[in-house]
Structures are given as structure tokens and as C-alpha cells.
Amino acid sequence: MSKRLTVPKTYKLFIGGAFPRSESGRTYEIASPTGGFLANAALASRKDARDAVTAAVGAGPKWAGATPYNRGQVLYRVAEILEGRRQQFVDEIAAQTGASAAAAGAEVDEAVDRWVWYAGWCDKFAQVAGALNPVAGPYFDISVPEPTGVVGIVAPQDTALLGLTSAIAPALVSGNTVVAVASERHPLSAISLAEVLATSDVPGGTVNILTGSPAEIAPWLASHPEVHALDLVGAGDLDWVDLEIAAAETLTRVLRPEAGPDAASPSLQRITAFTETKTVWHTKSMV
């Protein structure tokens, strides 16, 4: 039997449900901890960031308009497909980070569990975050959490999969759409995750993933008028105060950087950080 040629994977961007190359044509090399070549990844540009925001804006009504139960089922489907491709992610994480197979497997397992955890909150968080307010009069006063809109994310830079999952999943729970900048050092699993998202009933444009330099891309997300919230969980090494100032120009809410092993740990607060409270008044029936 003749020896088959290897088919190296091409890691592109994930924008609008498709996998385009960077419009600039740029790529950068991803190396193993020992310096060995692993792959080329797309180096996203300002134009790519703008295209991703446009896709996220367009996907907003469909994702936000889905029932909470349906969003939960979609996020659970992400976990199912990720579980089915577990070995691929273990191999990628080990190659990028130098982690042992056991440690890489533990990261994948935790990422799967995190998708399941947030899927379960989709049809429950409103009961916790909302309220029936006491009023003196013949009417109801109800506070209801609604999605903020487009969330720009700088993912944690020290993990290949778990940090990105921990930032994207909670933003999706309430119906937001996402433009995420993956780890610059470990981006390969981010695009493999995009393949999972593309085949798991997540509407195209709901999640957009850019690879490359957060220092280059984040300022454009922070200043973009159609980005409504900014999660800087992985921006601790950037001039994140400047990003916060840029975001303030368009009244964009900002979640500041987190550090340490508990960065972006699962919590209800990470869901409600990207919601707006809508108050509804309704007259009581006098019959």
C-alpha cells in the first residue's frame, strides 16, 4: 500500500457562519512549546472585525427571538458535538500548549461540562434575574432581563479551549451575539470549536471567532458603535483602560479583565452582566 500524503488543516476565521481567510491575506505561524511548526492561522484585520460585527448584528433578531428552551437545546447540542470530537481537541490542546494527554483531556471535559451548565440556565436565569415588583395600584410591574446585543470578547490567552468557552457560552444564554478574539498563542482549538458551532444549529453570525492579535483587533471592537458590551476577561496584558475609555464613547458596558485560575469561572453573574432590565407595567383586570 502506498503511503498517503498528509492533509494539513487550514485554520481560517469564523464570520457569519462561514470560514473566510483574512481579507488582508495575512497569516501567522503557530508553534509548539518546543518550537516545532504546527499550522498557519489567519491574522485578522480591522476589516475582518467590522465584518464580524455586521454578521453579529444581522444574527441578533433570530437568536434573541428564539425561545429560551430552544437556546438551551442548541447550547446542549454544542456540548454533544464537542464530546464526539473529544480526541481531536485533546490532541490539539496537547500540541499547542505542551500539556499532557490527561491534562488536555481534563480541559476538554470541563469545556463540555461548561456548555451543559450554561445550556441549563437558558430557560431559568430570567426567573432569578427578573422580578415581580411590589406596587401600590391596580397593575402589575414586572422586571425582565433582555439581551444587550453584540458582545465583543477578548478570550483568556492562557488556555486553548476552556477560556474561550467560558467567555462565549454565558453571553449566548440570554440571546446576545458574539465577536470573540481567540487566544493569540493557542488559536487552533478556537477554529475547531467554530466547526462545532457551525454544525450544532447555532444560527450563522451568532458567534464569530477571530484569530490574531488582540492588541490589534480589540481597539476596533471597543470603539465600534454596534458593539454593545465588551468582555475583557483575557485583556489583562493589554492597555485595557484605553479600551474601556474607547467603549465609553458609545456607552458600551465593559466587564474588566480577570486573572488567575478562576477567570471566567461559571456563574450567574457572567450571564446577567450582558443583559438589560426591561420593566413592564400591565393593568390588572377589574372584572
- Residue 34: all three cell numbers together: 518546543
* Per-residue confidence in pLDDT tens, the chain, 287 aa: 678 888 888 899 999 999 999 999 999 999 999 999 999 999 999 999 999 999 999 999 999 999 999 999 999 999 999 999 999 999 999 999 999 999 999 999 999 999 999 999 999 999 999 877 788 777 788 888 999 999 999 999 999 999 999 999 999 999 999 999 999 999 999 999 999 999 999 999 999 999 999 999 999 999 999 999 999 999 999 999 999 999 999 999 999 998 765 677 899 999 999 999 988 878 876 55
Question: What's the pLDDT score for residue 139?
Answer: 78
Superfamily name and number for 27-282: Aldehyde Dehydrogenase; Chain A, domain 1 (3.40.605.10)
Question: What's the pLDDT score for residue 141?
Answer: 81
Question: What's the pLDDT score for residue 6?
Answer: 80
Bridge-based pairing state of the strands 37-42 and 27-31: antiparallel
Question: What's the pLDDT score for residue 8?
Answer: 80
Question: What's the pLDDT score for residue 260?
Answer: 66
Which segments of the chain are extended strands (E)? Answer: 27-31, 37-42, 131-133, 139-147, 150-154, 177-181, 207-210, 229-231, 253-255, 275-283
Report the DSSP beta bridge partners of residue 151: 178, 229
Please give the single-letter amino acid code of residue 156.
Answer: P
| Structural domain spans, the chain | 27-282
